[in-house]
Structure 1
Amino acid sequence: MERVARVTGALAQLGLMLAGTGVVVMTVFIAAQVFWRYVLNDSLQWTEPAAVMIMGWFIFLGAAVGIREGYHLSFDVLLYVLPERARLTLHTVSDVVVAAFGCGMIWYGAQLAENTAGNKVPGLGISGAFDFLPIVVGGVLLVLFSIERIARRAAGLPTLRFGDDHEEA
């Protein structure tokens, strides 16, 4: 389990770094567009579609990392009054639902990518499939991280939270 935690931890760290870099790059692209439009009275045609594509990546990568680290949205009021075993069962049910959602993301994201592969993204000239790849990659990570959380719980190990020492887990 330690090896799995190291691999998924590295994937989560990479995803988080890519998502953070994506936010910065998208901000630079939008700032460049504003400068070109309002200062130079011209327009960069590629910045908007590139920014939207990058936004898809950082949203889905960030969401997957949030699932792994336990920061996803949840309704915890009931969990405070339940015994530990019932809480663990409900957390596992939640992880199974998230994994199923991730499978849907993979399936439908791949179909969207396949159906738009022949289209060109205006301003970028690349395949429209690139718009939907973040959904597929995010889905793969959701499934992987959910399975890791279920396996850790089944082995009696704590699920990881952001900032935990992954070496000791």
Structure 2
Amino acid sequence: MMKIAVLTGLIGRAALWTAGTGLVLMTVLIAAQVFWRYVLNDSISWTEPASVMIMGWFIFLGAAVGIREGYHLSFDVLLYVIPHKGKMFLYSLSDLVVTCFGIGMIWFGWQLAEKTAGNTLPSLGISGAFDFIPIVAGGVLVALFSVERIARRAAGLPTARFGDDNSEAT
């Protein structure tokens, strides 16, 4: 189990670095576009679609890492008043639902990529499928990290920095 956790930790770290790099790159591209448009009175035609594509990557990769680390949104009022075993059941149920959502991202993202693979994005000159690959990649990571959380909880290991730490059994 620990080797898998180390591997998923490395995958999560790589996804987070990729997302962060994408955020910086998108910011640079948008700044360049603004400079070219308003200072040089010209335009770079590919910066906007490239920025939108990069934004898809950092949103979906960042969201997947947020799921792994336990930083995703949740409504925890009920969890303050139920026993520890009930909390663990609800956490696992939540992770199961998130896993299904990740599988849906893979399935429908792949279908969208297939349907647009023959199209060419005019300003970038690449397949339209590239717009939907971040959904598939994010779905793979969402499902992987959610299954990891379920497995860690079943093994009695903590699953996040905050939240459902198994050491606080009451």
If the TM-score is normalised by the length of the shorter chain, which range does it land in? Answer: over 0.9
Q: Distance in 2 between matches of 1:13 and 1:131?
A: 23
SS in 1 for 2:120: coil
Partner of 1:165: none
Alignment of 1:63-102 (within 5 A): 63-102=63-102
Partner of 1:19: 19
Could you tell me which amino acid in structure 2 is paired with residue 99 of structure 1? T
The question of whether the paired residues in 2 share the 8 Å contact of 1:68 and 1:161 is answered with no
Aligned length: 162
Partner of 2:151: 151
Offset of residue 121 of structure 1: 1.1
**What's the % identity of the aligned pairs?**
72
Partner of 1:166: none
Alignment of 1:125-136 (within 5 A): 125-136=125-136
C-alpha offsets along residues 137-168 of structure 1, whole Å, 9 cap, x if unaligned?
00000110000000011111111328xxxxxx
Identify unmatched segments of 5+ residues in structure 1.
163-169
Q: Distance in 1 between matches of 2:150 and 2:156?
A: 10
Q: Distance in 2 between matches of 1:20 and 1:66?
A: 13
Partner of 1:161: 161
Q: Distance in 2 between matches of 1:146 and 1:157?
A: 14
Partner of 2:61: 61
Q: Distance in 1 between matches of 2:130 and 2:161?
A: 31
Q: Distance in 1 between matches of 2:161 and 2:141?
A: 16
Partner of 1:46: 46
> Which structure 1 residue ranges, 4+ long, deviate > 3 Å from structure 2?
none
Offset of residue 35 of structure 1: 0.5
Partner of 2:109: 109
Offset of residue 23 of structure 1: 0.4
